[in-house]
Structure 1
Amino acid sequence: MSRTLQLAEQLISRPSVTPDDADCQALLMARLAPLGFACETIVSGPEHFRVTNLWAKFEGFSAQAPAVPTHSAIEPIANKTPAKTLVFAGHTDVVPTGPLEQWHSHPFTPSHRGGQLYGRGTADMKSSLAAMVVAVEEFLAAHPQPTLSIAFLITSDEEGPALDGTVVVCEQLQARGEVLDYCIVGEPTSVEQLGDMVKNGRRGTLGGKLTVKGVQGHIAYPHLAKNPIHLFAPALAELVATRWDEGNEFFPATSWQVSNVHGGAGATNVIPGELVVDFNFRFSTESTPESLQQRLLAILSRHQLEYDLKWTLGGLPFLTTPGTLVNAVRGAIRAETGLETALSTTGGTSDGRFIAKICPQVIEFGPINASIHKINEHVAVASLDPLKNIYKGVLERLAAV
């Protein structure tokens, strides 16, 4: 059994459903501390929802810059260039299992069938965590004094509300003046083959709960009532037809979607007094939350609706354009798999949105995502060591910059 597979199975066997870390991070610390990582546990959240976070850092050795001559007989002064930092980020929490009877094997008992490793969290994202740790172990064994600092930022609140996880750690790191240069989030990004896609950004998410007000009444006397469903229908048609932006070379056009509509008193002969509409923008860097809010409010105003509206900004978009990190990841994938990886910003949100606020280059890369959050979640056993090799290849390329 490879060391990557062994560690992946140890993590998968722990039932770490959000926000319970189930000692996964203790297992990671037991591997990282002997390598010279300074490990810190940051606990956050109310008593009923305690979140465990791990910040672990190995300080790289400063590169020797060219000597700076002086105007005296004293020897030239040698400058030290601070080592840049690569962060491996991820989460130990997993989504609930769903009906146990539908699993072909227990979700927290790692099982092998047909070359696949089954269990909750295999793809999202305990295999990535295992590959990252073993990659660092092998890298430091070969380069015990690298000119690169390495860190791990791990949370148990990524699959949940994400209020006390990575966002809290990032706020503390920023307050300390911690400088991060590169970050790889181990989200499952591959589609058909390991390495065929990485995420170099994500769209922003802006949600709203709109309550359109009417007047409840008997359905046989509509002139005595005011039907909010009828009132909102023309505005809905305009909102659906609106082209919010055209996107750009990295992002698709901004999307507006209704996720839930509720109105009615539960009887067929009653005109409802209000209509509640939940909606969400997934927006590109071509739009801002403020511009989207203003345009939507203008449409509601144009249709003379009486309403209440509550907004929720789930995250801003972020983008890492091709450069040092993207090139290192692409090179490592090419060397291991022969693939020319595609860059993408599609999909949902991730903790990359928090890290991007304090780190200029953030990408996401991990195993095939076809089975994530599903019954019988799995990952190909044969992909685990190649995943580890790619992470190690990124370390080697960044250390050589």
Structure 2
Amino acid sequence: MTDTQRLAEALIRCPSVTPQDAGCQTLLAERLRALGFVCETIESGPDDFRVTNLWALRPAATPDAPVLVFAGHTDVVPTGPLEHWSSDPFTPTVRDGKLYGRGASDMKSSLAAMVVACEEFLRSHPEPALAIGFLLTSDEEGPARDGTVVVCDALRQRGQRLDWCIVGEPTSVQRTGDMIKNGRRGSLSGRLTVKGIQGHIAYPHLARNPIHLLAPALAELVATRWDEGNAHFPPTSWQVSNIHGGTGASNVIPGTVVVDFNFRFSTESTAENLQQRVHALLNKHGMREGQDYELTWTLGGQPFLTPAGTLLETVRAAVYEVTGTEPDVSTTGGTSDGRFIAKICSEVIELGPPNATIHQINEYVDLSDLHTLQRMYHLVLSKLSALALSSSTVHDKT
């Protein structure tokens, strides 16, 4: 059993369903303190949803050295029906070369690989030319109000410098390293309540059906081309997630219909512009805000993008060196905590194991992917440290 597997299994044993950390960060902090990291626990949120965050930093010998941060989350989604699992989700189990357990892929294996990569790197480079940080939360799978965003706000207020950040989200498709995320689309949700007049279905002239009122506008919303995307992002999409109207009786015209929808938007659109266009479309179809409808908005995150630069090119080179293949670079998929980190760090990428079984019953990661991922993280550390040393040497000579 490798050190990475051993640590991944220890993390899986912690039943850290959002927002519980269940001891994961304590375990990781013990390993990091032994390496010279200064560890700080930052708690946030109400008593019934208390979130645990860990900020750990191992300073470099020089105060102006660049800072590489490994980021991720210790929380996992609920297990679902236990009887559908082949083994207990919080008892790590190896079958046919795969490690099963909740969080095996999303993302306790990444955390284990990051820590072990640091341990091995610092054994051979006890005084690296860069500082190393860890930013961990137990509120990524939840509402994400008291997790990474809180730590980033605290770091901004302190003036903490972050140069590069690797988020361990499961980004790969078939094998570890075949896809890197260098950005994510923005997420904007809306809840639209269209108002009518409830009545007997046999007397429609005495009622006003809000579903009929909504239907033409809904058809146009579905058909609208919001933007064309660009070289880095696919076109913005609009999707209905829930729609509800009616009392449950077949002879009652409902008084309201409620539609939940979501935009996943590219950098070609802004949240403000999308909101304005939706309101204009509803008005076009004869609906007046406040009188005929109400619409509340929730901005889940702005889009972010890390263009070609030091971090992206270093990670691509490390992946190629370990696997012999060029990784795809993509911005597809859901949101991640990278959206918060990108506000205080100009270069943020995501690299983790395959995501085929994340959030599923019998979630697993291949044991071979644990070793591959640890080697990639180790190589990135080595390459960035060498770059930092080279830059520092040139600066000293000048």
TM-score bracket for this pair, using the shorter chain length:
over 0.9
TM superposition outliers: structure 1 runs of 4+ over 3 Å: none
CA distance in 2, matches of 1:120, 1:222: 52
Does residue 147 (structure 1) correspond to residue 133 (structure 2)? The answer is no
Of 339, 342, 349, which residue of structure 2 is paired with 1:353?
339
1:178-197 deviations in Å (ceiling 9; x for gaps):
11011000000110011100
SS at match of 1:60: coil
Alignment of 1:57-72 (within 5 A): 57-62=57-62
Give the CA deviation at 1:398. 1.1
- Structure 1 residue aligned with 2:319: 333
Q: TM-score, normalised by structure 1?
A: 0.94
Letter in 1 for 2:49: F
Tell me the CA shift for residue 61 of structure 1.
2.4
Q: Any idea what SS the aligned residue of 2:6 has?
A: helix
Where in structure 2 are the equivalents of 1:53-202 lying within 5 Å?
A: 53-62=53-62, 82-202=64-184
Match of 2:209 among 193, 214, 227: 227
Matched, 1:48 2:48: yes
Question: Aligned equivalents of 1:174 and 1:159: distance in 2?
Answer: 23
Residue type at the aligned position of 1:400: A
Report the TM-score when normalising by structure 2: 0.95
Shift in Å, 1:270: 1.0
Deviation at 1:37, TM superposition (A): 0.4
Q: Matches of 1:275 and 1:13 in 2, distance apart?
A: 44
Identity %: 69
Q: Residues 208-265 of structure 1, C-alpha deviation per residue, up to 9 Å, x if partnerless?
A: 0001111111111111111111111110111111110000011000000111111112
CA distance in 1, matches of 2:239, 2:321: 40
1:270 to 230, 252, 256: 252
Matches within 5 A, 1:377-396: 377-396=363-382
Q: 2:34 aligns to what SS in structure 1?
A: helix
Partner of 2:395: none
Q: Work out whether residues 175 and 369 of structure 2, in 8 Å CA contact, stay in contact via their aligned partners in 1.
A: no
| 1:259-314 alpha-carbon deviations (Å, 9 max, x no partner) | 11111122111111111111110000110000000111100000111100100001
The aligned amino acid for 1:231 is L
C-alpha separation in 2, matches of 1:339 and 1:236? 45
Cα deviations across residues 1-28 of structure 1 (Å, max 9, x unaligned)?
Answer: 1111111111111111111111111111
SS where residue 83 of structure 2 aligns? helix
Distance 2:369 2:212 in 1: 54
2:90, 2:251 → 1: CA distance?
51
* 1:363-391 deviation line (CA, Å, top 9, x unaligned): 11100110101111000011111100100
Query: 2:25 — aligned with what?
Result: 25
Task: Say whether 1:344 aligns with 2:360.
Answer: no
Alpha-carbon distance in structure 2 between the residues aligned to 1:182 and 1:153: 12
The residue type paired with residue 373 of structure 1 is H
Structure 1, unmatched stretches of 5+, are 63-80
- Aligned-pair Cα RMSD in Å: 0.8
> Is residue 2:11 matched to residue 1:11?
yes
Per-residue CA deviations over 1:7-52 (Å, capped at 9, x if unaligned) read: 1111111111111111111111111101110000001111111111
* Aligned position for 2:262: 280
Residue in structure 2 matched with residue 38 of structure 1 by the alignment = 38
Letter in 2 for 1:287: S
Letter in 2 for 1:388: Q
* Residue type at the aligned position of 2:239: Q
d(CA) in 1 for partners of 2:247 and 2:348? 48
